[in-house]
């Protein structure tokens, strides 16, 4: 499940990717809400770190996106990494962030069960969940091995942005 801090990027690289003023604001907010760098944010604290007030389900989806190592808490490194990728990430990095959130057991593939859980958490399907899972699985799993790897997911997002928007709709991430 990745390293123990749960970052997807090297913390030293991260610092240079966002403006110094933004980094200081993030640190300041963290300090006020969560305390020291070693403290981890729980769900209520996480909510206070966000600029916007979100409904419960959207907030849960966002929490899962930030919680890279899936331990139910947001570490400073996870927070900084996710904010940086959302602000400054490439298309591939942002899709990778979403893929990582879908991949519960961290084996770099999304199984049908993981896809179903992800769709329950992240999607605005507009149809019955099981139908939606079947359709998305069919569209993504080009080699037919029953799970989705990152390249397959990337291709799916490129080929059908509207379907992707339904899959990850609660996250409301602008891809660039
Ligand atoms: Ca975590
Ligand atoms: Ca997996």
The CATH number covering residue 144 comes to: 1.10.238.10
Q: How far is the CA of 148 from the centre of ligand 2 (A)?
A: 9
Low-confidence stretches of the chain (pLDDT < 70) are 1-7, 11
124 and 77 within one domain: no
pLDDT of res. 28: 97
Q: How far is the CA of 33 from the centre of ligand 2 (A)?
A: 33
Q: Does 2 reside within a domain?
A: no
Q: Which phi and psi (to 5°) does residue 108 adopt?
A: 65, 25
Q: How far is the CA of 106 from the centre of ligand 2 (A)?
A: 5
Q: How far is the CA of 32 from the centre of ligand 2 (A)?
A: 35
pLDDT of res. 2: 44
Q: Does 144 reside within a domain?
A: yes
Strands (E), the chain: 109-111, 147-149
Domain count along the chain: 2
Q: How far is the CA of 160 from the centre of ligand 2 (A)?
A: 22
For the CA of 114, the nearest ligand: 2
Q: How far is the CA of 108 from the centre of ligand 2 (A)?
A: 6
pLDDT of res. 14: 76
Domain that residue 32 falls in: 7-89
Question: pLDDT (tens digit, 9 = 90+) per residue, 110-135?
Answer: 999 999 999 999 998 778 999 999 99
pLDDT of res. 6: 60
116 and 84 within one domain: no
104 and 143 within one domain: yes
Q: How far is the CA of 98 from the centre of ligand 1 (A)?
A: 15
Cα(84)–Cα(16) distance, integer angstroms: 10
pLDDT of res. 4: 52
For the CA of 75, the nearest ligand: 1
pLDDT of res. 15: 73
Give yes or no for a contact between 34 and 45, defined as CB atoms under 8 angstroms apart: yes
């Amino acid at each position: 499940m990745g390293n123990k801090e749960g970052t997807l990027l090297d913390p030293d690289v991260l610092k240079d990717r966002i403006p110094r003023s933004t980094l200081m604001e993030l640190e300041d907010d963290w300090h006020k809400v969560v305390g020291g760098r070693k403290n981890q944010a729980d769900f209520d604290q996480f909510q206070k770190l966000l600029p916007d007030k979100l409904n419960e389900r959207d907030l849960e989806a966002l929490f899962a996106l930030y919680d890279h190592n899936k331990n139910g808490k947001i570490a400073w490194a996870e927070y900084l990494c996710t904010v940086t990728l959302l602000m400054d990430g490439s298309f591939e990095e942002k899709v990778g962030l979403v893929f990582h959130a879908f991949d519960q057991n961290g084996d770099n593939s999304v199984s049908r069960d993981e896809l179903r859980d992800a769709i329950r958490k992240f999607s605005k399907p507009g149809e019955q969940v099981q139908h939606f899972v079947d359709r998305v699985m069919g569209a993504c799993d080009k080699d037919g091995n029953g799970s989705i790897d990152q390249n397959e997911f990337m291709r799916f997002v490129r080929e059908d942005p509207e379907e992707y928007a339904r899959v990850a709709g609660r996250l409301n991430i602008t891809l660039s």
